[in-house]
């Protein structure tokens, strides 16, 4: 546990030092990340992955999803996260149509991410549409750690889990066409994505899979840039999805990151983790059948009386 917190604090310091305010589009990759339940506003532990990517991709920047991330009103909080993800993606693609985007989410943030791009299909949560058009045109990678909507057999699954999550997705068809772009890590024993009994597993991903996640993001970014370069060279005066990013990334020589454009900046522009959400008992999730299910989980795993 101490190792995870030290990593998070190191990520916070490094990202802060690298940030240079500039209301411009990223010349590399733009990342949108959602923290886990009860983490302080900002990137949370996902800042560790963000730091890894920004150090390796010149001109990349990020913004944090500004949503409650509470557990007392989990369904409402998660819905706010879905809406925020959707709005941020749509606004950024209008402002910077040629910049490739990566999405990252941890725990509740992972559920919000997947609901934003796949549509909500979990029992007890409000139905939401998918982001197929914007996702297909602009998103080159979507990364999740400890997603409660994890479903066994999904083509994007990674990790050791062989069980569905606490809120398994009932329909994954909207996301299946994008399985090459999505990766979700869930390990055996995780209380939330594997319905296991080991609370420590849920925060272990940042020690085990940070490099894997960053490698996947960078690999997909590179493929998109290469594809855009090929398209732009064969199409006169046309604008492809990441054409501007190609020339900018090729010319960049330093690993400088910038804050998100002023029109879409959120209060979460720095990393300020408070530790894994389980440490504060974030198993309590509210809302119809979801509340009943989580109450049972909290009672059996934490011994909480809700």
Q: Which DSSP letter does residue 147 get?
A: -
Sequence-distant (≥ 6) Cβ neighbours of residue 246 within 8 angstroms: 225, 228, 229, 232
Taking each helix axis from N to C end, the angle separating 243-251 and 210-234, rounded to the nearest 10 degrees, works out to 110
State the residue for tokens 């914007």: 134
Q: How confident is the model at residue 122 (pLDDT cuts 50, 70, 90)?
A: low
**pLDDT (tens digit per residue) in 237-272:** 444 444 444 444 444 433 333 333 333 333 333 333
Residue 63 CA to residue 77 CA, distance in Å, equals 18
- What local confidence, expressed as pLDDT, does residue 159 receive? 96
10 has a pLDDT exceeding 70:
no
Residue 103 CA to residue 43 CA, distance in Å, equals 12
Single pTM value for the model: 0.72
Is-contact 100 138, C-beta < 8 A?
Answer: yes
Q: How confident is the model at residue 127 (pLDDT cuts 50, 70, 90)?
A: low
Tell me the mean pLDDT in the region 104-131: 79
User: CATH class for domain 2-280?
Assistant: alpha beta
Residue 59 CA to residue 258 CA, distance in Å, equals 7
State the residue for tokens 């530790």: 275
H/E run at residue 84? helix 74-95
- What local confidence, expressed as pLDDT, does residue 97 receive? 92
State the residue for tokens 């509740």: 108
Task: Check residues 78 and 173 and name the one with the higher pLDDT.
Answer: 78
Given the DSSP bridges, would you call strands 30-34 and 61-64 parallel, antiparallel or unpaired?
Answer: parallel
Domain boundaries, the chain: 2-280
Task: Check residues 232 and 20 and name the one with the higher pLDDT.
Answer: 232
Residue 208 CA to residue 74 CA, distance in Å, equals 27
105 has a pLDDT exceeding 50:
yes
48, 52, 57, 62: CA torsion to nearest 10 = 0
Tell me the mean pLDDT in the region 151-172: 93
Burial class (CB in 10 A: 0-12, 13-18, 19+), 31: buried
Residue 138 CA to residue 134 CA, distance in Å, equals 6
3-state helix, strand, coil in the chain (%, to 5): 45, 10, 45
Residue 285 CA to residue 272 CA, distance in Å, equals 23
């Amino acid at each position: 546990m101490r190792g995870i917190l030290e990593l998070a604090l190191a990520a916070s310091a490094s990202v802060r030092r690298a940030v240079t305010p500039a209301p411009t589009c990223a010349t590399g990759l733009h990342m949108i990340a959602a923290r886990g339940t009860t983490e302080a506003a900002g990137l949370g532990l996902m800042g560790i992955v963000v730091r890894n990517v920004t150090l390796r991709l010149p001109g990349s920047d990020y913004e944090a999803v500004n949503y409650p991330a509470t557990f007392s009103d989990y369904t409402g909080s998660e819905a706010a996260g879905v809406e925020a993800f959707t709005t941020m993606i749509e606004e950024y693609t209008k402002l910077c149509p040629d910049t490739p985007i990566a999405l990252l989410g941890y725990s509740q943030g992972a559920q919000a991410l997947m609901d934003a791009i796949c549509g909500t299909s979990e029992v007890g949560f409000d139905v939401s549409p998918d982001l197929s058009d914007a996702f297909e045109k602009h998103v080159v990678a979507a990364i999740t750690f400890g997603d409660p909507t994890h479903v066994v057999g999904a083509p994007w699954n990674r990790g050791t889990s062989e069980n569905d999550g606490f809120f398994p997705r009932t329909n994954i068809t909207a996301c299946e066409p994008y399985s090459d772009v999505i990766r979700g890590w869930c390990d055996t024993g995780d209380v939330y994505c594997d319905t296991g009994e080991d609370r420590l597993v849920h925060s272990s991903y940042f020690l085990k899979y940070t490099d894997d996640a960053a490698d996947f993001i960078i690999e997909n970014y590179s493929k998109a840039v290469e594809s855009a370069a090929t398209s732009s060279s064969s199409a006169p005066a046309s604008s492809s999805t990441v054409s501007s990013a190609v020339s900018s990334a090729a010319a960049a020589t330093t690993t400088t990151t910038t804050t998100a454009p002023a029109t879409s900046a959120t209060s979460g522009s720095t990393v300020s983790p408070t530790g894994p959400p389980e440490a504060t008992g974030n198993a309590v999730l509210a809302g119809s059948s979801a509340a009943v299910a989580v109450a049972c989980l909290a009672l059996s795993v934490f011994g909480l009386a809700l």
